[in-house]
A and B are shown apart, each in its own frame.
Chain A
Amino acid sequence: MNSTASSPRETTEGSVYTVTGGDWDEVVRSAAKADDERIVVNMGPQHPSTHGVLRLILEIDGETVTEARCGIGYLHTGIEKNLEYRTWTQGTTFVTRMDYLTSFYNETAYCLGVEKLLGITDDIPDRASVIRVLLMELNRLSSHLVCIATGGMELGATTIMIYGFRDREMILDLYELITGLRMNHAYIRPGGLAQDLPPGGVDAVREFVKTMKKNLPEYDKLATGNPIFKARMQDVGYLDLTGCMALGATGPILRSAGLPHDLRKSDPYCGYENYDFEVPTADTCDSYGRFLVRLEEMRQSLRIVEQCLDRLEPGPVMVGDKKIAWPAQLALGPDGLGNSLDHIKKIMGTSMEALIHHFKLVTEGFRVPAGQAYAAVESPKGELGVHVVSDGGTRPFRVHFRDPSFTNLQAMAAMCEGGQVADVIVAVASIDPVMGGVDR
Chain B
Amino acid sequence: MSDETPNPEKELSEQNLPGQRGEHGEEVRVQRGMFGANNGGDTSGYGGLVRSVRLPGPAVRPYGGWFDEVADELEGALEEQGLVPGNAIEKTVVDRGELTFHIEREHLVRVARTLRDDPALRFELCTGVSGVHYPGDKGRELHAVYHLRSLTHGRLIRLEVSAPDHDPRIPSLVAVYPTNDWHERETYDFFGIVFDGHPALTRIMMPDDWQGHPQRKDYPLGGIAVEYKGAQIPAPDQRRSYS
Q: How far is the CA of A247 from the CA of B128 in the complex (A)?
A: 10
Interface size range on A against B: 35 or more
Known: A78-B214, A86-B236, A394-B36. A245 touches B125 (CB 8 A): yes
A48 on the interface (CB 8 Å rule)? no
Find the B residue at minimum CB distance from A119: B96
A116 on the interface (CB 8 Å rule)? yes
B53–A370 CB distance below 8 A: yes
Residue interface mask B124-148, A partner, CB < 8 A = 1: 1111101111000000000001010
B178–A247 CB distance below 8 A: yes
Known: A117-B96, A394-B36. A370 touches B28 (CB 8 A): yes
Q: How far is the CA of A197 from the CA of B54 in the complex (A)?
A: 40
Find the A residue at minimum CB distance from B178: A246
Q: Write out the residue numbers on chain A whose beta carbons fall within 8 Å of the beta carbon of B154.
A: 266-267
A259 on the interface (CB 8 Å rule)? yes
Q: How far is the CA of A393 from the CA of B37 in the complex (A)?
A: 11
B205 on the interface (CB 8 Å rule)? yes
A76–B206 CB distance below 8 A: yes
A261–B151 CB distance below 8 A: yes
Q: Write out the residue numbers on chain A whose beta carbons fall within 8 Å of the beta carbon of B149.
A: 383
Cβ < 8 Å to A, chain B residues 18-58: 21-22, 25, 28-29, 31, 35-36, 53-56
Binds B, one of A55-63, A163-171, A399-407: A399-407
B125–A395 CB distance below 8 A: no
Size of the B side of the interface (Cβ < 8 Å), in residues, is 56
Compute the total of residue contacts between A and B using a CB distance below 8 Å.
Answer: 136
Q: How far is the CA of A344 from the CA of B156 in the complex (A)?
A: 45
Known: A81-B214, A370-B54, A394-B243. A267 touches B156 (CB 8 A): yes
Find the B residue at minimum CB distance from A70: B182
Q: Write out the residue numbers on chain A whose beta carbons fall within 8 Å of the beta carbon of B126.
A: 248
Q: How far is the CA of A266 from the CA of B53 in the complex (A)?
A: 35
B109 on the interface (CB 8 Å rule)? no
Q: How far is the CA of A84 from the CA of B133 in the complex (A)?
A: 12
Q: Write out the residue numbers on chain A whose beta carbons fall within 8 Å of the beta carbon of B31.
A: 392
Sample of 7 further A-B pairs with CB below 8 A, known A116-B97, A393-B53, A397-B132: A73-B207, A81-B221, A246-B177, A373-B96, A385-B128, A387-B147, A400-B130
Residues of A within 8 A of B (CB): 72-73, 76, 78, 80-82, 84-86, 116-117, 119, 245-250, 259, 261, 266-267, 364-365, 367, 369-374, 376, 383, 385, 387, 389, 391-395, 397-398, 400, 402, 406-407, 409-410, 439
Residues of B within 8 A of A (CB): 21-22, 25, 28-29, 31, 35-36, 53-56, 95-98, 100, 124-128, 130-133, 145, 147, 149, 151, 154, 156, 158, 177-183, 186, 190, 203-207, 214-215, 221, 236-237, 239, 241-243
